[in-house]
Structure formats: C-alpha cells, structure tokens
A and B are shown apart, each in its own frame.
Chain A
Amino acid sequence: MFRALLVDDNHFFREAFKRDFSRQLPSALIEEAAGGDEALQKVKGTPPHLIFMDIRMPGMNGLRLTQKIKGENPNIRIAILTGYDLPEYREKAFNTERIVFSEKRHCSGMKL
C-alpha cells in the first residue's frame, strides 16, 4: 500500500489536505505529523513513500527536516509545500535531491 505522510503545524490545513487526498487516492494511506520530532518518529517507525512537508513550522524548519530525513532515508520522496513559487525556492529544490516544491494554494488532489 502506498503510504504518505503530511507534515504541517496547521490543523485545519492537515484536515482539508487529508480529506482531499483520501478522496482522490482512496487506496493510499496518509498519516500526519504536527512537527519535526513527530515526523521523524513516524518515518523511523514505518518509512512512507512520500512526504508532504511544510516549510515554516515551529521548532525544526521544514527544509532542515527534509535534509535530515533524506540523510537517513534517501529513497523517500519529499514534496515541499510552500506559499511562494519563487526562483530561490526552486533553486533550493534542485540543489536538494528528490524534492518537489509545490505551492500550497495549488495543493489539491487533482494536481498531485
């Protein structure tokens, strides 16, 4: 079964995203994490195939969390969710392997 993990500190966004994701991919399992520590714990327990990662979170920054997870599990695909579709963010995504940037406002099941 395809497993995905959503890391975001915003509860409303997580609920909406999960509902949308489940509607679009009913066969897939999506889990959620509210912060870096919880995400790392979940990744360590059962590594997901894909992680949706918010950049701005209290505590660990999404980009640093991404680098950490990548360092331990290079095969996990990570999609960074950001509010800005800017060249600087894209450049960062290129520099870091297998990271996909996605503007939050476009986050809908269809697009994914």
Chain B
Amino acid sequence: MKLRTQFIITMFLFGIILVVMAVSAIIANQRREKVSEQERISANIAQGASELGYLANEYLIYRESQQLTRWQSRFASFSAQVARLNLARPEQQVLVRNIQADHQRLKAVFDSTVSAFGGSSANQKVTLDPALLQVSWSRIAIQSQGLISDASRLSQLLHQEMDHLTHRRTMLIYLMVGMFGAFLLASYMLTYRRILKSLATLQARTAVIGSGNLDFKVEEKKNDEIGDLSRAFNRMTSDLKAVTTSKVDLEKEITERKKAEDDLRQQREWLRVTLSSIGDAVIASDTSGRVTFLNEVAVTLTGWQTEEALGQPMQNVFRIINEKTHAPAEDLVARVVNEKRVVALGNDTALVAKDGREVPIEDSAAPILDAAGNVKGVVLVFHDVTEKRRALEALREAHERAVWLARFPEENPNPVLRVSADGTVLYCNAATAETPGWGCEEGKPLQGALLPLVEQAITEAKETTQDMELGGRSYSVSVTPFPAESYVNIYGSDITERKLADEALRESEERLKRAQEIAHLGSWELDLAHNRLAWSDEVYRIFGLVPQEFGASYEAFLEAVHPEDRAAVNAAYSRSLRENRENYEIEHRVVRKSTGEIRIVHERCEHIRDASGQIIRSIGMVHDMTEHKKAEEALRKAHDELETRVKERTAALAKANEALRDLSARLLSAQEEERKRIAGELHDTIGSCLTGIKFKIENVLQQSEKAPNTVAMSLNTIIPVIQEGIEECRRMQQDLRPSMLDDLGLLPALSWFYRSFQTIYSGIRIEQEIAIREDDIPQMLKIVVFRVTQEAMNNIAKHSKADLVRFSLRKQDDRMELVLQDNGQGFSLEKINSQRATVKGLGLTSMRERTGLSGGSFDIESVEGKGTIIRASWLFCKKG
C-alpha cells in the first residue's frame, strides 16, 4: 500500500473519531449547561417558594398592601422562573407539572386569602379570626412547602443528570487525549518505521552509488513510494551508468583528439626538425619529377644548394649510377609514380654529386599519397653508406674475433663451467663433458662435489680454490663469483700428476730428513747472491735448536760453535773463499744451546760457481760425529780388552792344544795298542783256527784219495775247530761292542758285564743299585754309561785294590746320576793331573771326555787310603 494511502486512511480514521468525540463532548457540554440552568431555576424556584411562603406569612400578619404588593411582585418573578422550566425527561416533566400546578394553586390560595381578608388594613387585624388566619397560613404553607419539595426534588434530579453529563464529558476528553496519543503513535510508526528507516537504508545505498559504484543495485523490496524511489534510483543508476560510459568515451575521444592534434602538431614540428636534422638525405618531388624539397644532408651529398635545386628535374639533382658498372640507374620517381609503392635501390648504387663525386648510398623512394590515395609526389630518402660499410666491416671483424674468442674456453683442455647463482649450469666446455667426474649439462642443475665450493664462493663473494678428487683424479678447482652477473665461473685443472710428483717429492724430502736424522747428518745451503742461508731440520737438532724455529743465519751458526773453535771455523770458510778453493772440511765442536752439551761435528762445504767463476752458492753438510767418536772410543777400548783376552785365550789354547796333543798321542798309542791286541788275538785265535782248518781239510783231501770212506768222519773233526773260531770271533766282537747293549738295552748289558766281571775278579764284591727304567734312559747315553762303568771298573780292578764296589744308577728329578764308589787305596788327583798324558793313561780322561761330549758332568773324588768316588750325571732332555 502506498504511503500516501496509508497516511490518508490514518488521518481520516483518526479525524472522524476525533470529530465524533468532539461533537459528543460539545453536545454533552451544552446539555450540561442547560441542565445547570434548569437546576439553577429549580433552586430559584425552591428559594422563591420559600420566600413566597415567608411573604405570605408576612402579609397574613400584617395584611397591608405593601406586603401584598411585595408578594405579588415576588410571585411574578417566581412565575417567570416557573415558566422558564423546560425539561424533556418524563420524571422531570412530572415534577414540572407538579410545580406548575402548585404554583397555580399557591396563587389561588393566596388570592383567596387576600379576598377573604378583603382589603382590610392592619388595624383591622385584631378583628380577624385567628382560626381563619391559621387555615390560610397552613394552606399557603402547604403550597409553598410542596413547591419547595418539588423544586428541590427537581433540582436533585437535574444535579444527578449534570453529574452524569460531566462524567461523560470527562470520559470523552480522556478518549480524545488517548486517541490523539494513538494517532501520534501511528504517525510515528508510519513516519519513522516505514519512511525514515527505509529512507535511511535508501540513503546509505544511494551513498554507495554516489561513491561511484554504478553497478550497485538498491534493494526494491517494498511496493511503496520508497520502493518506487529505489527502482527509480536503480533506473537512474543504470541510466547514469550508460550516460557515464558514453561520457567517459566522449571525454576519452576528446582527449585522444586533443592528443592527436598535439601529436600532429608535434609531429609536424618533429618532422620538420627531423627532416632538417636527420642523418639521411631527403629529397621530395612532385609527380612531374621536379624537386620540391631537400634537406641539409641532401644538399651536402648532392652538392646542390636548396634554392638551385628546387624546381630542377629530379634526375639532375639526384643522379645515380651503378657503382660497379657506372651505368645510370633507373628513374626511381617514374617507377614510384607508376607502382604507387615504396621502392628500394639496388645495393651498389652510387650518387654522382654536382661536383662529380661518387658517393655510395642506400636509399628508398616512397610515393606521397593524399587521403584519396592519389600520388601527390615522391620522397627519396638516402644516406651515405661509406661509414656504414666501414662500421659493418669493423662489426664483421669484431664478430669474427668474438667467435674466435668464444672458442677459447671450448678449446680449453681443462674443464671450464659457468654456473648461475641458483646452481644451474649455464655453460660447460667440451672438456667438461669428456672429463670423468665432471659430468654436467647446460640448463641442468650442477651436481656433486662442486656445489659446496660454488656456495662457499658465492657466500664469501671471492675467488675460492680447492683441490678435490673427481672421477678418480685430482683437480685444482677455482670458483670465481661475479655477484653482479649472478653467476660463477669454474675452472678446473688436472693436478693428479703434479700431486703425485708433489707427494713423491714430499716423501723423498721426508726420507731425506729421516735419513739425515738417522745419520745425524744435516745439510745447509748459503745463497751468496741473495745472502740467504737455509738449514735442514737436522742442522737445528745438531745445534740443539728446535727445527725451523728461526731463520738460519751465519751468526746463529757461529754462536753454536764452541768458543774455542769459532776462529778456526770462521777462518776455514773465509780461507776457502779467499784461496778460491772448491771445498773445505773441518771438524769442530758445537755447544748445544738448550743443554750445554758439547757435540763434535764434521763439516764439509762445496762452493758452486757461475759461468764467470764467481761463487754463487755454498752447500755444506754437518755430520754429528759425537756418537761415532764415542763408538770409536768404545771400540778402541773393546779392542784393547779383546787383545788382552785373546792373549789370555791364546795361552789357554796353547795349553789346551798341549793337552789335546797329549790326548791325541795317547789316543794314537791306545789305538796302536788296541790294533796290536786285536792283531795278536786274530793271529792267536781266528788265524790259528783257520790254519788248523786248512791243515785238516788238506788231510781230508789227501785221505779222500786213499780212503774215500773216511771223508765224512774227517770232515766231522773240522766242525769243532770252526765252532771254536766262531766262538773266538764272538768274544772279540763282544769286547769291541757288546751286542746286548743294542739288542736288550743298558740294564741287561750292565747285568751281563757285572756277571762277567765277577767271574774274572771274584775278590771284588759288587753292590748294585739301579733306580731307573730302561725306557727312561736316553738311547745315546747308554753306551756312555756302559763305557764309563766299564772303564771305572777296569781301573778299580787294576789299581784300587778294593774289595767292595758300590754301583748306583738313579733317576734323580730331571737328572740321571751314575755313582761308582770303591773302598780301595785311592790316589792323589793333583799327582795324576800333573802327569803327562802318556804316563797317566787314558782311563780318567776318556771317562771325562765321554761324559762331557754327551752333555753330562763328570766328577771324581779320591782320597789316598780312603777310596774313590766317581760321579757322572746327565740332564734329561725335555721330551720331544
């Protein structure tokens, strides 16, 4: 619903209601006033009735005309009052009629009374009947009282009505006030809620539009004037938008046109300036080929002044020929006019200037067209290409040189790379691709061990070089950053061989140092040209200094030399220089600075000369001879000592030789004795036996011829002889080496020996104690023990005169001990030892020798008259 309608309805409704109310109130008020009037009349009537009663009484009392007149006058006004009573309500009308009737009756009563009294005066009063008077008074009183009563009653009714009307009026006023309030509320609702708020919203939205957002749409919810307004706004906005757009376009167009005009103006100016200041020559002509314009450059190139050129045929001013053939070139103007397009000249065109100069040019000719596309003229643009050709030549040369130079990194046999700051390979030369461990590709990220170095170089922003192992070889890699260019250059060079050589050199130096250290041999070099002295580590050590602690100097050297030797050392060097010698040697002492120890060194120096014979360098060595000297001293002492000992030993050896010769002589004699004995025995036993057998066999042979029957018997007699020979043979064999020792062992052999001994020497008692098992006796000792026992027993039997021999063979812990004790006469060992070998016999010596040779110890104790004890003992070898 429209706001206007709403507003009208609201006003109309409230207007009617208020008018009705106002009318009701006015009516009520009028009625009330009327009732009030009636009520006053009623009150006056009551009062009048009262007064009439009073006046009637007064008349009755006084009966004078005055009182009568007064009553009549009063009654007249009373009647007027009564006449004015005008009431509508039935009960009121009843009362009015009562009053009117009483009014009439009062008049009648009073008139009757007056007539009764007849005009008598006051003096006649006395004569009046009191009863009559009483009745008259009563009648009047009744009438007046009735009037008063009705009037009062009427007045009361009217008062009630008046109250009622007052109440109604008050109610109406209240209602009107309330309605007015309701009207205000409704107006507020309508005005504020519906209008002002919507208006505010609309305002806000229009403000958005007002801010330039023409695409903003106002909400069109309500179908009222504001809704209409919103729609109108939206329409307006869209219209405005359209208008704005077109306006913007218009403004733009205006601006562009202005700009175009400016541009045109500028362009014209620019063109003028350009044409006159352009490096190119410009000549324009009309269609007939007459020159209409030429700029300064054209003037210079052609040699034609502007004023003389203008109007001239183009061919005169712009005379062109083929540079090579010198043939006139084609007529450009005619061609352009015909073809209506831009035409360029051939390459070898030359302009022939007015003075005949030929200038190589490049040019083009273009038609000047009007708006309709008609040719209005021709413009020729050309320039001198002498400089350009020269520049091109220079450029070509520069380019060739650049290409030539660009091959430089490519031809580098070592890896060369360019890497961007983000690690992308920008360039890598052929060597990079071919070198193992350097694999990279342009445009790809740099891989591997090079990255950290690149990062380091970028971070430190300075050239960084590092040796690294790549693809099994050593490279010196140098990274040069170019922060401004955001890349780094990487140069690698293969240093494997150099490194190996360095390593070999280092090792060699190390070996040399070590060798010098071991040999206590230092070396030094004095560069006379630069007066530089260098010592090897060992020189420092020999001088008691820390190696390479300070720079070597001749002064430091002299300081280290023993004070007593300094002069000599200094002199030796100076003399070698003075006397022009090739070398010199000197032995001197040095005092070690740190410990004060004195060392003896041997110095040797060689001088090296240049071509002119000038000494340029001295090379020397310092050999610490101290140890050597000490060793020499010790050696000398040892030598002396040895000499003494050799002398002693020689004497001992001579003695031993003597003994050995003795022994040897005795051995030889013993051998001869033995041979003699065996020869005798062979002769006596086997020899005689075999002789006997020979005779017997000869006999048998002789007999066999005579009596062959007896041959067997005769041969039988030979058998005992042979048997005897065998027996002798066995005895000799046993004497030489007892077979039992080999067959059964030492213990059975000893048993056999003692048994045999007893059979021969029955006067000697033998006590045997054997506390060892056969298996415990080492095989090689068996014969030694047997022979020692045999020898000892033979000695005892021959020399001791003993009658008891105690023999014991024991195992004692790790030893085997042999003891032979006799109770014989004994002998003096000194005496025996002092005897010459040949005299003393072989017995003791052979026992001692045998024992000693078999690793045992031999001991003999003998006291004259007390017997002899022989002890031999051997240490068992460890098992295995």
With a cutoff of 8 Å between Cβ atoms, the chain B residues found around residue A87 in the complex are 751, 755
Q: A55-B743, A56-B742, A63-B744 known; A88 and B726 CB under 8 Å?
A: no
Q: How far is the CA of A63 from the CA of B749 in the complex (A)?
A: 15
Closest chain A residue to B752, Cβ basis: A88
Q: How far is the CA of A61 from the CA of B740 in the complex (A)?
A: 12
With a cutoff of 8 Å between Cβ atoms, the chain B residues found around residue A91 in the complex are 748
Closest chain B residue to A89, Cβ basis: B744
> In the complex the two chains form, is B740's CB within 8 Å of A86's CB?
yes
- CB-contacts of A59-89 with B (<8 A): 61-63, 82-84, 86-89
Closest chain A residue to B755, Cβ basis: A87
**Is A111 in contact with chain B by the CB < 8 A criterion?**
no
Closest chain A residue to B726, Cβ basis: A105
With a cutoff of 8 Å between Cβ atoms, the chain B residues found around residue A92 in the complex are 744, 748
Q: How far is the CA of A84 from the CA of B744 in the complex (A)?
A: 12
Closest chain A residue to B740, Cβ basis: A88
Closest chain A residue to B733, Cβ basis: A83
- Chain B residues close to A by CB (< 8 Å): 723, 726, 730, 739-740, 742-744, 748-749, 751-752, 755
Task: Pick the contact of B730: A83, A88, A89 (CB < 8 A).
Answer: A83
With a cutoff of 8 Å between Cβ atoms, the chain A residues found around residue B743 in the complex are 55-56, 61-63, 82, 89
With a cutoff of 8 Å between Cβ atoms, the chain B residues found around residue A84 in the complex are 730, 739-740
Q: How far is the CA of A47 from the CA of B509 in the complex (A)?
A: 81
> In the complex the two chains form, is B723's CB within 8 Å of A105's CB?
yes
With a cutoff of 8 Å between Cβ atoms, the chain A residues found around residue B739 in the complex are 55-56, 83-84
5 residue pairs bridging A and B, Cβ less than 8 Å apart: A56-B742, A56-B743, A63-B743, A88-B752, A92-B748
Closest chain A residue to B749, Cβ basis: A88
> In the complex the two chains form, is A88's CB within 8 Å of B744's CB?
yes
Q: How far is the CA of A62 from the CA of B752 in the complex (A)?
A: 20
Closest chain A residue to B729, Cβ basis: A83
With a cutoff of 8 Å between Cβ atoms, the chain B residues found around residue A55 in the complex are 739, 743
Bits for A88-106, please: 1 = Cβ < 8 Å to B, else 0. Answer: 1101100000000000010
With a cutoff of 8 Å between Cβ atoms, the chain B residues found around residue A89 in the complex are 740, 743-744
Q: How many residues of A contact B (CB 8 A)?
A: 15
Q: How far is the CA of A88 from the CA of B742 in the complex (A)?
A: 13
With a cutoff of 8 Å between Cβ atoms, the chain A residues found around residue B723 in the complex are 105
- Chain A residues close to B by CB (< 8 Å): 55-56, 61-63, 82-84, 86-89, 91-92, 105
With a cutoff of 8 Å between Cβ atoms, the chain B residues found around residue A63 in the complex are 743-744
With a cutoff of 8 Å between Cβ atoms, the chain A residues found around residue B755 in the complex are 87
> In the complex the two chains form, is B742's CB within 8 Å of A86's CB?
no
Q: How far is the CA of A40 from the CA of B82 in the complex (A)?
A: 202
Q: How far is the CA of A60 from the CA of B877 in the complex (A)?
A: 24
Q: How far is the CA of A61 from the CA of B723 in the complex (A)?
A: 26
Closest 4 CB pairs of A and B: A88-B748, A55-B743, A88-B752, A88-B744
Closest chain A residue to B734, Cβ basis: A84
**How far does the Cβ of B748 sit from chain A's closest Cβ, in whole Å?**
4
Closest chain B residue to A63, Cβ basis: B743
**How far does the Cβ of A73 sit from chain B's closest Cβ, in whole Å?**
22
Q: How far is the CA of A35 from the CA of B830 in the complex (A)?
A: 53
Closest chain B residue to A91, Cβ basis: B748
**How far does the Cβ of B173 sit from chain A's closest Cβ, in whole Å?**
166
Closest chain B residue to A92, Cβ basis: B744
Q: A87-B751, A88-B744 are in contact. List 14 more A-B contacts (CB 8 A).
A: A56-B739, A62-B743, A83-B730, A83-B739, A84-B730, A84-B739, A86-B740, A86-B752, A88-B740, A88-B748, A88-B751, A89-B743, A92-B744, A105-B726
User: Counting chain A CB atoms within 10 Å of each CB, which of B723, B739, B743 scores highest?
Assistant: B743
Q: How far is the CA of A3 from the CA of B101 in the complex (A)?
A: 214
**How far does the Cβ of B199 sit from chain A's closest Cβ, in whole Å?**
143
With a cutoff of 8 Å between Cβ atoms, the chain A residues found around residue B751 in the complex are 87-88
Q: How far is the CA of A56 from the CA of B730 in the complex (A)?
A: 14
With a cutoff of 8 Å between Cβ atoms, the chain A residues found around residue B740 in the complex are 84, 86, 88-89
**How far does the Cβ of B244 sit from chain A's closest Cβ, in whole Å?**
137
Task: Pick the contact of A61: B726, B742, B748, B749 (CB < 8 A).
Answer: B742
Q: How far is the CA of A63 from the CA of B740 in the complex (A)?
A: 12
**How far does the Cβ of B599 sit from chain A's closest Cβ, in whole Å?**
71
**How far does the Cβ of A82 sit from chain B's closest Cβ, in whole Å?**
7
Closest chain B residue to A80, Cβ basis: B743
Q: How far is the CA of A92 from the CA of B686 in the complex (A)?
A: 31
Q: How far is the CA of A88 from the CA of B734 in the complex (A)?
A: 15
Q: How far is the CA of A36 from the CA of B577 in the complex (A)?
A: 92
Q: How far is the CA of A63 from the CA of B742 in the complex (A)?
A: 10
Q: How far is the CA of A63 from the CA of B84 in the complex (A)?
A: 205
User: Counting chain A CB atoms within 10 Å of each CB, which of B730, B748, B749 scores highest?
Assistant: B748
Q: How far is the CA of A62 from the CA of B739 in the complex (A)?
A: 13
With a cutoff of 8 Å between Cβ atoms, the chain A residues found around residue B752 in the complex are 86, 88
With a cutoff of 8 Å between Cβ atoms, the chain A residues found around residue B742 in the complex are 56, 61
Q: How far is the CA of A38 from the CA of B484 in the complex (A)?
A: 105
Q: How far is the CA of A33 from the CA of B331 in the complex (A)?
A: 145
Q: How far is the CA of A91 from the CA of B755 in the complex (A)?
A: 15
Closest chain A residue to B756, Cβ basis: A86
With a cutoff of 8 Å between Cβ atoms, the chain B residues found around residue A83 in the complex are 730, 739
User: Counting chain B CB atoms within 10 Å of each CB, which of A55, A63, A88, A91 scores highest?
Assistant: A88
Closest chain A residue to B722, Cβ basis: A105
With a cutoff of 8 Å between Cβ atoms, the chain B residues found around residue A56 in the complex are 739, 742-743
Closest chain B residue to A88, Cβ basis: B748
**How far does the Cβ of B718 sit from chain A's closest Cβ, in whole Å?**
15
Q: How far is the CA of A82 from the CA of B726 in the complex (A)?
A: 13
With a cutoff of 8 Å between Cβ atoms, the chain A residues found around residue B726 in the complex are 105
Q: How far is the CA of A92 from the CA of B739 in the complex (A)?
A: 14
**How far does the Cβ of B747 sit from chain A's closest Cβ, in whole Å?**
9
**How far does the Cβ of B211 sit from chain A's closest Cβ, in whole Å?**
133
Closest chain A residue to B748, Cβ basis: A88
Q: How far is the CA of A112 from the CA of B584 in the complex (A)?
A: 104
Q: How far is the CA of A88 from the CA of B774 in the complex (A)?
A: 14
With a cutoff of 8 Å between Cβ atoms, the chain B residues found around residue A61 in the complex are 742-743
User: Counting chain B CB atoms within 10 Å of each CB, which of A63, A83, A87, A89 scores highest?
Assistant: A83
User: Counting chain B CB atoms within 10 Å of each CB, which of A56, A86, A92 scores highest?
Assistant: A86
Closest chain A residue to B747, Cβ basis: A88
Closest chain B residue to A86, Cβ basis: B752
**How far does the Cβ of B739 sit from chain A's closest Cβ, in whole Å?**
7
Q: How far is the CA of A86 from the CA of B748 in the complex (A)?
A: 10
**How far does the Cβ of B73 sit from chain A's closest Cβ, in whole Å?**
208
Q: How far is the CA of A10 from the CA of B696 in the complex (A)?
A: 27
Q: How far is the CA of A62 from the CA of B751 in the complex (A)?
A: 21
